[in-house]
């Protein structure tokens, strides 16, 4: 890539978004309990303008569904603002020997706790959803034969990954926003979903009926309330990044797990997340995967006195072993407990966390090669493990310094940090291990529908991934379910409209009452200090629900989370004026979500659950011990994974008073042996496939 024109590099990193969308006005104003409430009437509403939400809205509009897009912050969120060195889109139709959907489904669900039918849906859907993005103008890299260029990423042995560079998801958002403009999809900006509105049908079954929202404007009422009357609600709000202290998410990422819990929805696997090395939110948050570490920079720490430490040398026996495992962080970027054994690549993460715990700051220097392990030979490209040597040789990368290797293999990685005021050709990067992605979320079926009829979830807020996932599979999942949800909503729209016709039966005063009472509590002197609440939640989620967990601590931390939640619900969170009410409610949601995570984690550990995915569970009675250069590291003794639980999903729900935990077996793999064209075509024509 070193010969690529600078303008091309700029176009792939400095990605601008289209402006001016089809804004909407309220359909009517109703006077309810002394308040003027704007109402908006649509068949469906999509909450969130990341890649997943935009795809759902575009597909719904193409199916002539009267859809409204709602966003609290256009151009914000992980799709628009996050990424890595060459941000990955993961699909089928892969490597040089081909692929099939069953193999891809097996790869997607290999970590366990993922429904195998959903894995197959994501595998099959990857082809036409990828083609749809190309149709909209996403230029994926191809060879001269028309094949998409691919590479290997984490949890991926077949090489199914492709990329448009570090801003792949941003480029996806761009082409989808352009299509949103072309289709004139109405958009309500500066609007936050506060509460799901529900009603019962003639059989007594609850259905979704819309949303109570904060409109961002106090023109009509001081609470900024608005009501979106829509029989189908699609949540595409992303993950709960602001709930963690150590987070690589952009700021203001709240998600909607708390909203879902308050609405009575089931959540699945919310203890499963991804953690990995990246620069912090206080600077420019970005994942340091791929070529950032595959060029093998020098990783070191600095103590409070300014002394430099080649700390990785405490954990690896030779310079070759150290350098090769720094390289492997490129495609083994997420932390994984099993990779702490046999001097694997996740020892790097544990070592970094230990340095930070000891008050040291950790850096990555691209102008120096790794320093040698004491008593061993210095670093040399001629002395690397076979997989590392072959990768560098295949890419004809033999430059002397890491920065020159990076310029050769991926100059976009340099351009990206330069764009944000950090010249890594001159200065080292400070970094740490951060929370990056939640693999759990709202429980959904193969159409993206939640446990509440008419309410759908897709993207990171949906709990589809299980314990681990191949790097980039999340982008594919959001696109696949954007199409699937639109299919289901469009099929159901007439039935949903008939139910919505009864919306006059909804007591909107009652819908708003809870939040009005909360505001009154929060305006009182007895309300909880918001700074203290945020600090406690963030510290707990990073220290007691992060990638390193001590089994003996979880019970008491669960109790503390419950105490905080009960105090929040009883007292409110101090509010200087109603202008901050929306943020207050989002932190009420976080108090509920964090307590749910701690409840599920404690339940899992007390049932004997072991380390799995991106979490190591330290236990003095554990059966596995990582080793450093000097022998076993007893303080890191941990429980191995209990493989029996891989075939089940952990579920949790909230009834307004307490949590209800349960589990269920994962759905079986798809069996196509009884599917035939003539027999099954009528099922499609009659809509039976949606039942």
Q: Tell me the pLDDT tens digit for each residue of 610-656.
A: 999 889 999 999 999 999 999 999 999 999 988 878 899 999 999 99
Give 3-state DSSP helix, strand, coil % of the chain, rounded to 5: 40, 20, 40
Task: Give dist(CA 488, CA 188) in Å, integer.
Answer: 23
Show the beta-strand stretches assigned E in 512-609: 548-550
More confident residue, 683 or 161: 683
- Position 81 scores a pLDDT of 64
Among 95-109, 143-157, 158-172, 548-562, the range with the most confident prediction by mean pLDDT is 548-562
Three-class SS state of 133 = helix
Answer whether residue 164 shows pLDDT above 70.
yes
Cα–Cα distance between 84 and 13 in angstroms, integer? 11
User: Mean of the pLDDT values across residues 646-670?
Assistant: 96
CA–CA distance, 691 with 679 (Å, rounded to integer): 17
Domain ranges across the chain: 6-275+436-508, 289-430, 514-665
Of residues 649 and 95, which shows the higher confidence score?
A: 649
CB 324 within 8 A of CB 318: no
End-to-end CA distance of the chain: 49
Across 2-11, 98-107, 229-238, 357-366, least confident range = 2-11
Q: What's the mean pLDDT in 532-541?
A: 97
610 and 640 in contact (C-beta within 8 Å)? yes
Nearest to 232 by CA among 500, 504, 48, 602: 500
**Predicted local confidence at residue 159, as pLDDT:** 78
Beta partners for residue 206, in sequence order: 200
Tell me the two tokens of residue 11: 């176009």
Mean pLDDT, rounded, for 377-391: 95
Averaged pLDDT, 666-676: 93
- E strands, 49-141, where? 67-70, 88-90
- Looking at residue 331, what is its pLDDT? 84
Give the per-residue pLDDT at 515.
Answer: 96
Phi and psi angles of residue 523, each rounded to the nearest 5 degrees, phi first: -85, -5
Give Cα 117 to chain centroid, integer Å: 21
Mean pLDDT, residues 131-158 taken together: 84
Show contacts of 378-382: CB within 8 Å, 24+ apart.
Answer: 378/319, 379/296, 379/319, 379/323
DSSP secondary-structure letter at 612? B
**Cβ atoms of residues 275 and 335 within 8 Å:** yes
pLDDT confidence band for 214 (50 / 70 / 90): very high
C-alpha distance from residue 257 to each of 241, 261, 533 (Å): 11, 6, 18
Strand partners, 287: 278
In the predicted structure, residue 151 carries a pLDDT above the cut 90: no
359: left (phi over 0), alpha (psi -120 to 50) or beta: left
Q: What average pLDDT does this structure show over 538-557? A: 96
| Rounded CA separation 61/24 (Å) | 16
Interstrand relation of 267-268 and 232-235 (parallel, antiparallel or unpaired): unpaired
- Architecture of the domain made up of 514-665: Up-down Bundle (1.20)
pLDDT value at residue 657: 93
For residues 196 and 260, what is the distance between their CA atoms, to the nearest angstrom? 8
In this structure, which long-range contacts are made by residues 395-404, counting pairs with CB atoms below 8 Å and at least 24 apart in sequence?
A: 397/295, 400/369, 401/366, 401/367, 401/368, 401/369, 402/295, 402/296, 402/297, 402/298, 402/365, 402/366, 402/367, 402/368, 402/369, 403/295, 403/366, 403/367
Helix axes 168-182, 473-500, angle to 10 degrees: 30
According to DSSP H, which parts of 239-299 are helical? Answer: 257-262, 291-294
Please state, as a whole number, how many other Cβ atoms lie within 10 Å of the Cβ of residue 15.
Answer: 18
- Looking at residue 436, its pLDDT comes to 87
* Mean pLDDT in residue range 149-170: 79
At 48 the pLDDT is 96
> Residue 216: exposed, middle, or buried by beta-carbon count in 10 A (0-12, 13-18, 19+)?
middle
Report angle CA 143, 144, 150 to the nearest 5 degrees. 10
Question: Is it the case that residue 1 has pLDDT exceeding 60?
Answer: no
pLDDT of residue 355: 97
Q: Is the pLDDT of residue 691 over 90?
A: no
The whole-chain average pLDDT of the chain stands at: 91
Strands 361-365 and 298-302, by their bridges, are: antiparallel
How many CB atoms are located within 10 Å of the residue 536 CB? 16
Q: What's the angle, vertex CA 299, arms to CA 297 and CA 301, rounded to 5? A: 155
pLDDT at 37 over 90: yes
Q: Is 666 helix (H, G, I), strand (E, B) or coil?
A: coil
Distances (CA, A) of 346 to 275, 276, 368, 600, 627: 11, 9, 22, 25, 12
At residue 428, does pLDDT exceed 70?
A: yes
**Cβ atoms 430, 283 nearer than 8 A:** yes
- 3-class secondary structure per residue, 8-64: HHHHHHCCCCCCCCEECCCCEEEEECCEEEEEEECCEEEECCCHHHHHHHHHHHHCC
DSSP conformation letters of 316-333: -SSHHHHHHHHHHTTTS-
Per residue in 487-536, pLDDT (tens digit) is 999 999 877 666 666 656 899 999 999 999 999 999 999 999 999 999 99
Q: Which helix (H) or strand (E) holds 659?
A: strand 659-665
pLDDT score of 249: 84
Superfamily of domain 6-275+436-508 in the CATH hierarchy: FAD/NAD(P)-binding domain (3.50.50.60)
- Which residue matches tokens 């490597």? 95
pLDDT in tens, 286-302: 889 889 999 999 999 99
**Over the stretch 460-469, which tens digit does the pLDDT of each residue have?**
999 999 998 8
Instruction: With H, G, I as helix, E, B as strand and everything else as coil, classify residue 91.
Output: coil
Contact 217, 234 (CB under 8 A): no
CB within 8 Å of 134: residues ≥ 6 apart:
140
Question: CA–CA separation, 104 vs 160, rounded Å?
Answer: 9
Nearest-10 Cα torsion for 175, 180, 181, 182: 90
Q: Is the pLDDT of residue 94 over 60?
A: no
> In DSSP terms, which residues pair with 550 in a beta bridge?
618
pLDDT digits (tens, 9 = 90+) for 70-85: 999 887 777 666 666 6
Question: With helix as H, strand as E and coil as C, how does 414-427 read?
Answer: HHHHHHCCCCCCCC
């Amino acid at each position: 890539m070193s010969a690529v024109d600078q303008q091309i590099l700029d176009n792939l990193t400095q990605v601008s978004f289209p402006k001016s969308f089809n804004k909407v006005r309220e359909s009517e104003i109703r006077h309810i309990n002394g308040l003027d409430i704007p109402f908006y009437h649509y068949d469906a509403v999509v909450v969130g303008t990341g890649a997943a939400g935009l795809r759902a809205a575009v597909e719904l509009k193409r199916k002539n569904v009267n859809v409204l897009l709602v966003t609290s912050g256009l151009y914000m969120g992980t799709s628009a603002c996050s990424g890595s060195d060459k941000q990955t889109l993961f699909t089928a139709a892969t490597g040089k020997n081909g692929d099939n959907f069953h193999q891809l489904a097996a790869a997607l669900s290999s970590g366990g706790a993922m429904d195998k039918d959903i894995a197959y849906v994501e595998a099959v859907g990857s082809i036409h959803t990828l083609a749809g993005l190309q149709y909209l103008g996403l230029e994926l890299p191809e060879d001269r034969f028309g094949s998409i260029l691919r590479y290997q990423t984490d949890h991926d042995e077949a090489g199914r990954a492709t990329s448009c560079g570090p801003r792949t998801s941003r480029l996806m958002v761009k082409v989808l926003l352009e299509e949103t403009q072309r289709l004139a999809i109405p958009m309500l900006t500066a609007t936050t979903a506060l509460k799901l509105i529900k009603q019962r049908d003639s059989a007594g079954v609850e259905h979704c009926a819309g949303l109570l929202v904060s409109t961002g404007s106090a023109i009509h009422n001081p609470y900024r309330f608005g009501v979106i009357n829509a029989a189908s609600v699609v949540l595409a709000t992303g993950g709960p990044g602001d709930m963690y202290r150590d987070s690589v998410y952009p700021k203001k990422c709240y998600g909607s797990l708390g909203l879902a819990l308050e609405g009575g929805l089931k959540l699945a696997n919310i203890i499963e997340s991804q953690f990995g090395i990246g620069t912090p939110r206080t600077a420019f948050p970005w994942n340091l995967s791929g070529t950032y570490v595959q060029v093998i920079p020098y990783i070191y720490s600095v103590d409070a006195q300014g002394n430099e430490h080649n700390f990785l040398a405490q954990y690896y026996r030779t310079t070759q072993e150290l350098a090769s495992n720094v390289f492997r962080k490129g495609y083994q970027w997420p932390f994984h407990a099993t990779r702490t054994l046999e001097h694997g690549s996740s020892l790097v993460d544990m070592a970094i966390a230990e340095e930070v715990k000891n008050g040291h700051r950790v850096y990555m220097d691209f102008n120096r090669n790794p320093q040698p392990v004491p008593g061993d030979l210095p670093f040399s490209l001629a002395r690397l493990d076979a997989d590392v040597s072959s990768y560098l040789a295949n890419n004809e990368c033999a430059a002397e310094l890491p920065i020159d290797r990076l310029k050769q293999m991926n100059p976009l990685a340099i351009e990206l940090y330069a764009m944000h005021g950090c010249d890594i050709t001159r200065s080292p990067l400070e970094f740490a291990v951060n929370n990056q992605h939640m693999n759990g979320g709202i429980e959904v079926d193969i159409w993206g529908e939640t446990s509440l009829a008419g309410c759908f979830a897709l993207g990171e807020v949906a709990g589809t991934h299980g314990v681990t996932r191949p790097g980039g599979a999340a982008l594919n999942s959001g696109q696949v379910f954007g199409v699937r949800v639109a299919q289901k909503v469009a099929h159901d729209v007439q039935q949903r409209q008939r139910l919505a016709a009864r919306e006059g039966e909804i007591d909107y005063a009652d819908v708003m009452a809870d939040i009005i009472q909360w505001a009154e509590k929060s305006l009182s002197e007895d309300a909880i200090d918001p700074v203290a609440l945020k600090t406690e939640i963030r510290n707990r989620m990073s220290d007691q629900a992060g990638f390193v967990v001590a089994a003996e601590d979880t019970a008491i931390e669960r109790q503390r989370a419950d105490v905080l939640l009960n105090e929040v619900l009883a007292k409110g969170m101090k509010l200087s004026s109603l202008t901050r009410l929306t943020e207050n409610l989002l932190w009420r949601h976080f108090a509920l979500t964090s307590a749910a995570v701690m409840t599920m984690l404690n339940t899992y550990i007390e049932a004997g659950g072991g380390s799995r995915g991106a979490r190591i569970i330290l236990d003095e009675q554990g059966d596995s011990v990582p080793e450093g250069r000097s022998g076993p590291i007893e303080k890191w003794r941990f429980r191995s994974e209990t493989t029996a639980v891989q075939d089940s999903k952990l579920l949790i729900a909230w009834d307004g008073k307490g949590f209800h935990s349960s589990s269920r077996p994962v759905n079986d793999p798809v069996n196509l042996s009884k599917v035939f064209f003539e027999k099954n075509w009528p099922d499609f024509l009659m809509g039976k496939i949606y039942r």
